Structure 1
């Protein structure tokens, strides 16, 4: 009788462990967004792009749009898995149609990013690293590049082959 109880108990534990489902990155992201903005009115967001294992195994990048009291903004966020749990590490944002060109995360990994509203731009580089360019909607695009180097120059390449170094966001200028 004891043997049957022990076997039954072990089978029950195996069953429970099998039922535990690890949270996907997207489930984690949506849960965090709902929790962070639960008190806000007229708030919505759209997850535009994800990249898993972006810098190393068990990390992720998410690009998302927010509609809030400041209008529409675009963000990029970096996540890492620690002890089998996703952790939101850093975020950068921008607005469409502003003098904002690009920004970078100030901790490793150095992720450079920015909105693109000029259709003639076909490539973007952060130092030597080519950027991924994502079509967000219509003619709105967003780029990001992961660089091992802090404080690199950002260059755009246009359809006609011209190259231009673009300046980083001046947060003080934007607030004025």
Structure 2
């Protein structure tokens, strides 16, 4: 009987200890909390919205990390972002972000710190692949006629190429100078 009382007491203590430990938020919970803070910063005067389009939790450089691609309707219009997160001491930390606009003169951008993540938008249906250096980019369908790509590189400066349906590869400059001139004339 005494052993049974000790066992029940130990089980109750273990249960209470398990319940009292604060549960760390999942990546999605962390992301939504941070985005809701952004929504509050804009206030009710602006119809701010966001949508998580894609996420990938994995390990780079011996850290648990994540990439999130999300769209935002903010004062600058409709934009798409890629954000990089690392889990430090059991908590998610937002590390870097890059944004883009559809049909912009900026064809792609890269993050300034490791990991170097290259990303850009695609509205040209004839492009089947994007190469960053020799690595193929991950291409995500965002909505009809709008795709977003990203690639992780351990090299800070690489060439970006678009692969067309017919197999031709074309260098993609970071800035489309012709489109920039057109935008400047508007």
- When the two structures are superposed, what TM-score results if normalisation uses the length of structure 2? 0.83
Aligned ranges 1:19-168 → 2 under 5 Å? 19=19, 20-40=22-42, 41-53=46-58, 55=60, 56-168=62-174
| Helix, strand or coil at the partner of 1:35 | helix
CA distance in 1, matches of 2:40, 2:159: 38
CA distance in 2, matches of 1:23, 1:13: 24
Q: CA deviation at 1:126?
A: 0.9
Q: CA deviation at 1:24?
A: 0.5
Larger radius of gyration: 2
Q: How many residues are aligned here?
A: 171
Runs of 5+ unmatched residues, structure 1? none
CA distance in 1, matches of 2:17, 2:174: 49
| Helix, strand or coil at the partner of 1:119 | coil
Q: CA deviation at 1:39?
A: 2.5
Q: 1:16 to 1:33 in 2, by over 3 A?
A: farther
* Runs of at least 4 residues off by over 4 Å: 10-13, 173-176
Q: CA deviation at 1:35?
A: 1.1
CA distance in 2, matches of 1:54, 1:160: 35
Q: CA deviation at 1:17?
A: 4.1
CA distance in 2, matches of 1:90, 1:22: 21
CA distance in 1, matches of 2:129, 2:70: 21
Q: CA deviation at 1:36?
A: 2.5
CA distance in 2, matches of 1:101, 1:54: 28
Runs of 5+ unmatched residues, structure 2? none
- When the two structures are superposed, what TM-score results if normalisation uses the length of structure 1? 0.87
CA distance in 1, matches of 2:16, 2:98: 40
